Structure 1
Amino acid sequence: MASAHQRSDHPLGARHAKSLRRHELRRQLLTATLAIAVFLVSCLAFAYSNLQGNVNRHDVDDLLGTDRPTRMDDDGEQEGPEDARAGSALNILVLGSDSRQGANDDGSDVGGMRSDTTMIAHVSADRSRLEVVSIPRDTLVDIPECHLPNGTQTAAEYDAMFNRAFALGGQTGDVAYAAACTIQTVEELTGVPIDDFVVVDFAGFQAVIEALDGVPMYIPEPVDDPSAHVSLEAGCHVLNGQDALGYARARYGVANSDGSDINRIGRQQQLVAAIAREALSIQLLTNPPALYRFLNAGTKTLTTGEWVGRLPNMAGLANSLRGIEPENIRFATMPFEWAGARVVPAADADTVWDNLLHDRPIDADITATGDEPTIDEPSSEEPTTDAATTEEPTSVRPSQEETTPACTR
């Protein structure tokens, strides 16, 4: 009987054991799923905290005073209180600092800080255009009184070199005060309100290039400038961080260069255009690992204003620009006239500033494609059928020979 009893219990015991195993498997699976979720959330939290911690943010509103340009809407009327940035045009001042302190020490014993490069980056309200206007650092401008950390103010200067504004405000080594003085000078020069600022130093610029694994770029003529630590043959290159920085800074050893800042502005714009092309070509914004590497490298040496330095704001702005076409990323230099070895704004500069102020497209020198902007010829309402005038319409798009060769890895 005992054997019969055992045989009758065996199927029930087996089913019970299988049920326990399934329960244990479900429990382990749930535990693993929760662990993965916690891990991912922790990684995201770490990434956010790490990236946000990289950025050195400063609120400079109190340093700019109240005598500032008034923002205009599309109808030329003063805007009401701003909400979130969506739907509003943005003007961000991008400054390249030539400070040789810390990681930027190149053994040159050059002290102080100056703005090696200054660009107004205008983002259109509909996020369809990004226009970048370079201001030559040798431009003669009026620099207003600027605040210093000890509560005093600098004296106003007239017909001073533009990059002196950064040096005046930053004479104590505080980048925020340097940026604030430059913003005041730009606003007085242009009448364009600056919403925020970004300062990138040499090390940060190199890190951005390295995070992209280099940038493909066509070099139209040899560059050999020992003072900028660069030597490049003409042709296609994948520039690493050091070569890209040297190419942007080179003043000598370039054909037809007189050693002035003006001659290198075009090269700097071509380089920034190449960076934009590379970021768009690898779909940086939709590749989280690559985007994290890029941001982690780029944000380590950034000094920014309060708004643009917040990662949610950076991410929101980047997301709204992700569909922008390379031909709608345009670069121009402030129209100028020579004044001895320096330059002064030309009359046409007022048109550029007015277009930025009213969020209208500007006339540009190149686009992120590396070519000149295409401007279609106006068409006639009643096209002629005369055989003598049936030629293809003239286009201002550069010919194949004039177009910058496309360089790939």
Structure 2
Amino acid sequence: MPRHAVTLSRLAHAASGRLLAARHARSLARHEMRRRILTGALGVVVFLATTMGMAYSNLQGNIGRHDVDDLLGDDRPTRDDGQEPPDDPQQGEPLNILVMGSDVRTEDDPDYGETLGMRSDTTMIAHVSADRSRVEVVSIPRDTLVDIPSCQLPDGGETAEQYDAMFNSAFALGGQTGDVAYGAACTWKTVEALTGIPIDDFVVVDFAGFEAVVDALDGVPMYIPEPIDDQRADLSLEAGCQVLNGHEALGYARVRYGVSGDGSDISRISRQQQLVAAIAREALSVHLLTNVPALYRFLDASTKTLTTGDWVGQLPNMAGVATSLRGIEPDEIRFATMPFDWAGARVVPSSDAEAMWENMRADRPIDADITGTGEEPTTEEPTSEEPTSEEPTTQEPTTEEPSEETTPECTR
């Protein structure tokens, strides 16, 4: 065989080897690239899962949950259909949550009041309709004269029944050892005895932590109808549209002096309702559910202020209620104060109060003072979609005419 033929054969074999080596190298490179991409993607998934898990754990850990069922006794109102509160709050059953604002006073914080110790300055029943189309929030004045049932104490003892006692003393009686859950349970029993409304669970909001909730929203736009200068509440505001920060919002919720009114709890309730309505409007307007960082900041601040019952304090249940209410508009959130008559410097439930409680028990709309828009309702709600054989006494209908003086709409 000629020498040049052997040389060509060797050259061809070498070229083929180099081609195979190049293909193998490219294959290894592609494999390495896929491995890196898969490893990177897995790392991202693990990071997100860990971050979300930590966020969930942090938020759930913020909430102080207490099971108070054993503290409520057996003499409680029941639902007409006998059903328990829904495990899936998105469907089918009304929800009644007792909301209390806890204001703990110490010798270092005397300006907001004379009484030291733990007490509930604000108590509301938040009713969520079964079809999740409306939310009604009814304030019970703290100065209401009520009968307070005997309540259990952490040491196994019980408090004595109280007659014609101030309503907010129920929280102080049950919580006299400093245990918020026992204070909440005593208030819960008192509310059920007063209204006959079956309460599903409770939330206690720490007033001091309330500042962080407002600050997490970067403040709350609100119309201030008159200048306020109250050193006791550490509050000075000009009249007109303002964006209240957390400290100012807390002062506005507490303020009694330097404003129109008689300095009583009754005059303060309307300002608190206006403030809660403004917070609801702001939370709805900034689309929290689609802004993950803002949502986490808000939830982190909110959950740190809460002590709750066992059911409502579970984040999946909270999320279920929030999701089922995601389409609600501010005018479908309504605020009212328990109808009352004056009894000297105190108040007692009026004859119209029972009509309000009956409508709430039957999941019918109630007459409201303002809506989440900050305005009075402009239309009269129907009493019931399906007439029943037992109708409650009719409350005085709200006017269908808009108020002559409308509150300016404030924005940032």
Q: Is TM-score (shorter-chain normalized) higher than 0.5?
A: yes
Contact kept, 8 Å, 1:212 with 1:294, in 2: the verdict is yes
> Is structure 2 residue 347 aligned with structure 1 residue 340?
no
Q: What residue number does 1:64 align with?
A: 72
> Is structure 2 residue 128 aligned with structure 1 residue 128?
no
Instruction: Select the residue among 20, 37, 47 that pairs with 1:12.
Output: 20
> Is structure 2 residue 234 aligned with structure 1 residue 229?
yes
Q: Give the residue type in structure 2 aligned to 1:141.
A: V
> Is structure 2 residue 307 aligned with structure 1 residue 292?
no
> Is structure 2 residue 410 aligned with structure 1 residue 407?
yes
Instruction: Select the residue among 317, 326, 330 that pairs with 1:326.
Output: 330
Q: Separation in 2 of the partners of 1:241 and 1:80?
A: 40
Q: Separation in 1 of the partners of 2:341 and 2:164?
A: 14
Contact kept, 8 Å, 1:63 with 1:146, in 2: the verdict is yes
Contact kept, 8 Å, 2:367 with 2:381, in 1: the verdict is no
Q: Give the residue type in structure 1 aligned to 2:338.
A: M
Contact kept, 8 Å, 2:103 with 2:208, in 1: the verdict is no
Q: Separation in 2 of the partners of 1:138 and 1:361?
A: 26
Q: Give the residue type in structure 1 aligned to 2:342.
A: W
Q: How many Å apart are 1:398 and its aligned residue?
A: 2.4
Q: Separation in 2 of the partners of 1:195 and 1:12?
A: 74
Matches within 5 A, 1:73-222: 78-81=81-84, 83-84=86-87, 85=89, 86-100=91-105, 106=109, 108=111, 110-222=115-227
Q: 1:160-189: per-residue Cα shift (whole Å, max 9, x none)?
A: 111000000010000000000001111111
Q: What residue number does 1:39 align with?
A: 47
Q: Separation in 1 of the partners of 2:157 and 2:103?
A: 25
Q: Separation in 2 of the partners of 1:45 and 1:377?
A: 44
Q: Give the residue type in structure 1 aligned to 2:99.
A: V
Task: In structure 1, list runs of 5 or more residues that go unmatched.
Answer: 73-77, 379-394
- Residues 7 and 82 of structure 1, relative CA distance in 2, 3 Å threshold: same
Q: Give the residue type in structure 1 aligned to 2:43.
A: A
- Residues 49 and 68 of structure 1, relative CA distance in 2, 3 Å threshold: same
Contact kept, 8 Å, 1:277 with 1:369, in 2: the verdict is yes
Q: How many Å apart are 1:156 and its aligned residue?
A: 0.6
Q: 1:333-357: per-residue Cα shift (whole Å, max 9, x none)?
A: 0011111111111100011100110
Q: 1:329-382: per-residue Cα shift (whole Å, max 9, x none)?
A: 00000011111111111100011100110100000010001111121699xxxx
SS in 2 for 1:227: coil
Q: What residue number does 1:265 align with?
A: 269
Q: How many Å apart are 1:100 and its aligned residue?
A: 3.0
> Is structure 2 residue 306 aligned with structure 1 residue 302?
yes
Q: How many Å apart are 1:111 and its aligned residue?
A: 2.3
- Residues 81 and 251 of structure 1, relative CA distance in 2, 3 Å threshold: closer
Q: What residue number does 1:373 align with?
A: 377
Q: Separation in 2 of the partners of 1:150 and 1:239?
A: 43
Contact kept, 8 Å, 1:372 with 1:397, in 2: the verdict is no
Q: What residue number does 2:394 align with?
A: none
Q: What residue number does 2:62 align with?
A: 54
Contact kept, 8 Å, 1:115 with 1:166, in 2: the verdict is yes
Q: Separation in 1 of the partners of 2:48 and 2:153?
A: 44
> Is structure 2 residue 245 aligned with structure 1 residue 240?
yes
Q: What residue number does 1:351 align with?
A: 355
Contact kept, 8 Å, 2:85 with 2:200, in 1: the verdict is no
Q: Separation in 1 of the partners of 2:331 and 2:268?
A: 22
Q: Give the residue type in structure 2 aligned to 1:275.
A: I
Q: Separation in 2 of the partners of 1:34 and 1:54?
A: 30
Question: Aligned pair count?
Answer: 384
Contact kept, 8 Å, 1:134 with 1:332, in 2: the verdict is yes
Q: Separation in 1 of the partners of 2:411 and 2:242?
A: 8
C-alpha RMSD of matched pairs (Å): 1.8
Contact kept, 8 Å, 1:92 with 1:121, in 2: the verdict is yes
Q: How many Å apart are 1:207 and its aligned residue?
A: 1.2
Q: How many Å apart are 1:191 and its aligned residue?
A: 0.8
Task: In structure 2, list runs of 5 or more residues that go unmatched.
Answer: 1-6, 383-398
SS in 1 for 2:351: coil
Contact kept, 8 Å, 1:58 with 1:306, in 2: the verdict is yes
Q: How many Å apart are 1:284 and its aligned residue?
A: 1.3
Instruction: Select the residue among 277, 282, 286 that pairs with 1:278.
Output: 282
Q: What residue number does 2:255 align with?
A: 250
Contact kept, 8 Å, 1:143 with 1:156, in 2: the verdict is yes
Q: What residue number does 1:388 align with?
A: none
- Residues 131 and 376 of structure 1, relative CA distance in 2, 3 Å threshold: closer
- Percent sequence identity is 72
Q: Separation in 1 of the partners of 2:64 and 2:247?
A: 24
Q: How many Å apart are 1:403 and its aligned residue?
A: 2.1
Q: 1:21-70: per-residue Cα shift (whole Å, max 9, x none)?
A: 11100000000000000111111110111111110001111101011112
Contact kept, 8 Å, 1:55 with 1:299, in 2: the verdict is yes
Greater Rg over alpha carbons, structure: 2
- Residues 208 and 105 of structure 1, relative CA distance in 2, 3 Å threshold: farther
- Residues 83 and 209 of structure 1, relative CA distance in 2, 3 Å threshold: closer
Contact kept, 8 Å, 1:131 with 1:330, in 2: the verdict is yes
